[in-house]
């Protein structure tokens, strides 16, 4: 039966509590995190000073409604400097605010984080798509670092480079801060070569293509654009993007799709994705950058592939060896705005990974590689 925390002692977690194997629930090839109690800490900004505690939360943190915040203050789930306050309490600059929540993390695809190389100083893994590398936003345990700690007892780990959440492939993690600094210095000095592969729309040109266009990432929209023009030219609008260069080489094609080797010389946000869009051959399942691609045939083809992919996932429950757990294996909190669902509002777990995969990183005296994914075959 689902248990109710109303009459039970609550154990609060902090970032110091390591993820455990039993923290995860696997259902329908999706990895969930059992909801847990967590203390979020912030400090009053100058512009918040003078607001009532309820007004502050209602105005600044719109993920929950005002009634919830009113109840949270009255019950002590929102505190100031470690003390319970009234709903009319006015905050002062720099005060510590604690918000104790029943935390629901977004789900990810239930794919293993495969260890490729385990050395004294370096660990390399094959990162699954949909899983973020390290704690960020609503993700904490449902991350590569969290899963490696929970399922492989590997900690501490220091990611050397980043892969976007929807991107899969080689991820290098140092096992000490000093080793991570060595890798980062090599990357920043241009001593490291990177290779990705992508499955793109259409027949990619046979000759090597180089895209040398600035990339401007819009954080509010969550997407990048390329900028065409000389930043030194006088007049007109100034260019805000960062210099970016990517080299592309076709590996194979069947006319409908192509597998392309991607060599980013720089490392800008969504660089490969937006540069491929510029070539007229966007990643074939990249909904973010297919929106500006007006080939109706490719859009229909993408929808067909997506439907087929979803059907395969739903019908092939035996392809993942993770155990299936019941929904009764977590506690329902009477004040929680997400319960009784496992996932927070807005996350249904139906997301698929991009057809973009990191296959190789090489430096002055080292090389690490990752196997190709199944979608890289056009047979």
Task: Determine contact, residues 9/336, Cβ cutoff 8 Å.
Answer: no
Residue 168 has pLDDT above 50, yes or no: yes
Among candidate residues 70, 164, 333, 374, the one labeled active-site is 164
pTM of the complete model:
0.84
Q: Strand, coil or helix: what is 36?
A: strand
The tokens of 196 are what?
Answer: 């990705």
164 is catalytic: yes
Residue 68 φ/ψ, nearest 5 degrees? -60, -50
Task: Determine contact, residues 251/281, Cβ cutoff 8 Å.
Answer: no
The tokens of 275 are what?
Answer: 């540069």
CA 58 to chain centroid = 27
Residue 375 φ/ψ, nearest 5 degrees? -70, -10
CA 41 to chain centroid = 22
> Which ranges constitute the DSSP H helices of 215-365?
271-279, 287-290, 296-315
Q: Which residue has the higher pLDDT, 3 or 128?
A: 128
- Looking at residue 11, its pLDDT comes to 80
- Looking at residue 220, its pLDDT comes to 86
Q: Strand, coil or helix: what is 73?
A: helix
The closest of 202, 173, 154, 192 to 366, measured between CA atoms, is 192
Looking at the chain, how many residues does it have?
379
- Looking at residue 163, its pLDDT comes to 95
Task: Determine contact, residues 171/233, Cβ cutoff 8 Å.
Answer: no
- Looking at residue 71, its pLDDT comes to 95
The closest of 260, 256, 235, 233 to 246, measured between CA atoms, is 260
Express as a percent the part of the chain with pLDDT over 90.
73
The closest of 177, 199, 325, 190 to 261, measured between CA atoms, is 199
Q: Strand, coil or helix: what is 307?
A: helix
In this prediction, residues 192-204 reach a mean pLDDT of: 97
Span of 176-180, 224-228, 319-323 with lowest mean pLDDT: 319-323
Residue 15 has pLDDT above 60, yes or no: yes
- Mean residue pLDDT of the chain comes to 87
Q: Which residue has the higher pLDDT, 97 or 310?
A: 97
Q: Which residues contact 375 (CB under 8 A, 6 or more apart)?
A: 199, 355
**pLDDT tier for residue 293 given thresholds of 50, 70 and 90:** low
State the DSSP code for 162: -
Q: Which residues contact 49 (CB under 8 A, 6 or more apart)?
A: 91, 92, 93
- Looking at residue 67, its pLDDT comes to 95
The tokens of 46 are what?
Answer: 């100058």
The tokens of 340 are what?
Answer: 């009784």
Q: Which residues contact 177 (CB under 8 A, 6 or more apart)?
A: 158
Residue carrying structure tokens 């040109």? 205
Span of 16-20, 102-106, 155-159, 191-195 with lowest mean pLDDT: 16-20
Residue 367 has pLDDT above 70, yes or no: yes
In this prediction, residues 82-105 reach a mean pLDDT of: 95
The tokens of 203 are what?
Answer: 């027949």
The tokens of 194 are what?
Answer: 């990177």
The closest of 284, 324, 344, 280 to 140, measured between CA atoms, is 344
What's the CA gap between 137 and 39, in Å, rounded? 14
Task: Determine contact, residues 288/277, Cβ cutoff 8 Å.
Answer: no
Residue 309 has pLDDT above 80, yes or no: no
Which domains are seen in the chain, by residue range?
5-103 (3.10.290.10), 108-228+237-315+353-376 (3.30.2350.10)
In this prediction, residues 21-47 reach a mean pLDDT of: 93
What's the CA gap between 205 and 218, in Å, rounded? 29
What's the CA gap between 354 and 113, in Å, rounded? 17
Express as a percent the part of the chain with pLDDT over 70.
85
Residue 368 has pLDDT above 70, yes or no: yes
- Looking at residue 292, its pLDDT comes to 57
Span of 142-156, 282-296, 315-329, 356-370 with lowest mean pLDDT: 315-329
- Looking at residue 298, its pLDDT comes to 44
**pLDDT tier for residue 230 given thresholds of 50, 70 and 90:** low
Span of 168-177, 276-285, 300-309 with lowest mean pLDDT: 300-309
Task: Determine contact, residues 96/40, Cβ cutoff 8 Å.
Answer: no
- Looking at residue 316, its pLDDT comes to 41
Helix (H) or strand (E) holding 98, with range, is strand 96-103
Residue 75 has pLDDT above 50, yes or no: yes
Q: Each residue of 258-280: pLDDT tens digit? A: 999 999 999 999 999 999 999 99
Span of 123-127, 307-311, 320-324, 338-342 with lowest mean pLDDT: 307-311
Whether omega before 240 lies within 30 degrees of 0, making that bond cis, reads: no
Residue 313 has pLDDT above 50, yes or no: no
What's the CA gap between 369 and 358, in Å, rounded? 8
Q: Each residue of 50-65: pLDDT tens digit? A: 999 999 999 999 889 9
- Looking at residue 242, its pLDDT comes to 92
What's the CA gap between 123 and 34, in Å, rounded? 27
Rounded (10°) CA dihedral 345, 348, 349, 351: -110
Residue 24 has pLDDT above 90, yes or no: yes
């Amino acid at each position: 039966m689902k248990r109710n925390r109303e009459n039970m002692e609550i154990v609060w977690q902090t970032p110091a509590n390591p993820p455990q194997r039993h923290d995860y629930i696997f259902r329908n090839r999706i990895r969930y995190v059992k909801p847990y109690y967590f203390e979020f800490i912030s400090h009053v900004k100058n512009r918040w000073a003078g607001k009532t505690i309820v007004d502050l939360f209602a105005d600044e943190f719109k993920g929950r409604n005002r009634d919830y915040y009113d109840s949270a203050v009255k019950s002590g789930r929102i505190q100031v400097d470690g003390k319970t306050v009234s709903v009319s309490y006015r905050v002062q600059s720099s005060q510590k605010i604690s918000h104790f929540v029943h935390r629901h993390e977004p789900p990810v695809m239930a794919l293993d984080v495969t260890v490729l190389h385990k050395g004294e100083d370096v660990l390399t893994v094959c990162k699954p798509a949909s899983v973020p590398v390290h704690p960020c936003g609503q993700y904490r345990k449902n991350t590569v670092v969290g899963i490696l700690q929970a399922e492989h007892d590997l900690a501490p780990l220091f990611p050397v480079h980043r892969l976007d959440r929807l991107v899969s492939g080689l991820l290098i993690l140092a096992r000490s801060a000093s080793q991570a600094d060595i890798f980062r210095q090599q990357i920043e000095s241009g001593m490291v070569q990177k290779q990705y592969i992508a499955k793109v729309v259409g027949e990619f040109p046979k000759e090597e293509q180089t895209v040398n266009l600035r990339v401007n990432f819009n954080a509010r929209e969550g997407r990048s654009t390329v900028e065409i023009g000389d930043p030194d030219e006088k007049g007109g609008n100034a260019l805000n993007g960062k210099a970016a260069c990517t080299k592309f080489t076709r590996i194979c094609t069947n006319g409908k799709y192509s597998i392309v080797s991607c060599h980013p010389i720089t490392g800008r946000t969504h660089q490969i994705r937006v540069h491929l869009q510029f070539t007229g051959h966007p990643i074939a399942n990249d909904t973010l950058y297919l929106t500006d691609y007006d080939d109706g045939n490719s859009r229909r083809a993408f929808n067909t592939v997506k439907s087929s992919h979803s059907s395969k996932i739903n019908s092939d429950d035996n392809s993942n060896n993770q155990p299936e757990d019941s929904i009764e294996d977590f506690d329902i909190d009477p004040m929680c705005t997400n319960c009784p669902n496992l996932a927070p509002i807005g996350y249904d777990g139906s997301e698929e990974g991009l057809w973009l995969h990191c296959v190789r990183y090489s430096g002055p005296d080292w090389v690490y590689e990752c196997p190709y994914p199944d979608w890289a075959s056009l047979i």
